[in-house]
Chain A
Amino acid sequence: MKGRPVRGGVCGLLFGLSLTLFLLTTGVLPLDSILIIVLPVVILLAGVVLGIAAPLKRSRLSRAPSAGA
């Protein structure tokens, strides 16, 4: 486990809920669509996977100084 799966799950759920709300209030997604439930769950799971896989590297500025420096 290289990243933060719990943070990924929580933020994924919040992102999914926000995205669903945005799509609802802009009329893209109708209120009777099952995607209202599916979308937050899928993005929650994607967040967990993102946290486990951690494909993003730290920026150079936030890296620890090397031992030889």
Chain B
Amino acid sequence: MPRSRLVVAALVLGGTMALLAASPAAADAVDPSGACSASGHWQDEGVDRASADHVPSDLIKIPQKDTVRWAGNIKGYALGAEGPRREISGEVEVDIAGVGTATIDDWGKSSVRYANEGEHDYDVPDVLLNVKMRLQGEHREAPEGSASFTRVCGGSVYLQVTGGMFSNPLTIAALVGMLASGAGLASAGVVRKRWAFEDTNPG
């Protein structure tokens, strides 16, 4: 079944979903502005978020666990709208240190849908709490049967799953590691003991 998650829409993050995309508004997480749009309603949190309300440098804080009702579309198409069949391709990734990416979700094959919606439950593992991640995505299309894809839209935004200061177990591990290695580091800077002959042979 072709995945018609058009646009830079629902982002699955280790079982989580977030949003990316665009809108015709001035603020836009998507490039080119207005080419695509996405929105979501976090049901337990009771918050609506839309790509139109954000720019790429924005930090979106979401709860660790929730259900998101999401929708995404390409400019000019309403939810449920269909159009000529074409090849689609795209992915959502997390940028790692600016030198690599980890793909969270991708899509491809062909589709007649130009807008989509759905509901997604997510529960982020504790080890990702408080980590500030840059999510980026891109959607591409090509004429049916062709492999010459052109970029329709792309976007990015920072995402952080909120939690307490020490709710991420890796924070405690990091503190312990800092204390232990810090002690070793300090001892490395101490002048090495060099016993003189007289020290070990008194008299």
Contact = CB atoms under 8 A, between A and B. Distances in A.
B180 to A, nearest CB: 8
Interface residues of B, number: 42
A11 B181 CA distance: 5
A52 B198 CA distance: 26
A34 interface: yes
A61 to B, nearest CB: 12
A37 B133 CA distance: 16
Given A11-B181, A11-B185, A32-B134, A37 B99 contact: yes
A21 B193 contact: no
B146 interface: no
Contacts, number: 135
B97 A14 contact: no
Interface string B147-186: 0000000000010100001001011011111101110111
A36 B192 CA distance: 32
A50 B185 contact: yes
Nearest to A34: B98
A2 B188 contact: no
Nearest to B171: A25
B95 interface: yes
A22 B190 contact: no
A10 B184 CA distance: 9
B134 A30 contact: yes
Nearest to A13: B181
A65 B195 CA distance: 10
Which of B95, B175, B185, B190 has the most A CB atoms < 10 Å from its CB? B185
Contacts of B129: 25
Contacts of A34: 97-99
Contacts of B186: 56
Interface of A: 2-5, 7-8, 10-12, 14-15, 17-19, 21-22, 24-27, 29-34, 36-37, 47, 50-51, 53-58, 62, 64-65, 67
Given A2-B191, A31-B132, 7 more contacts: A10-B184, A11-B187, A15-B177, A18-B178, A21-B170, A50-B188, A64-B193
14 contacts: A4-B188, A7-B184, A12-B181, A21-B173, A22-B171, A25-B168, A25-B170, A27-B131, A29-B132, A31-B131, A47-B188, A51-B188, A67-B198, A67-B199
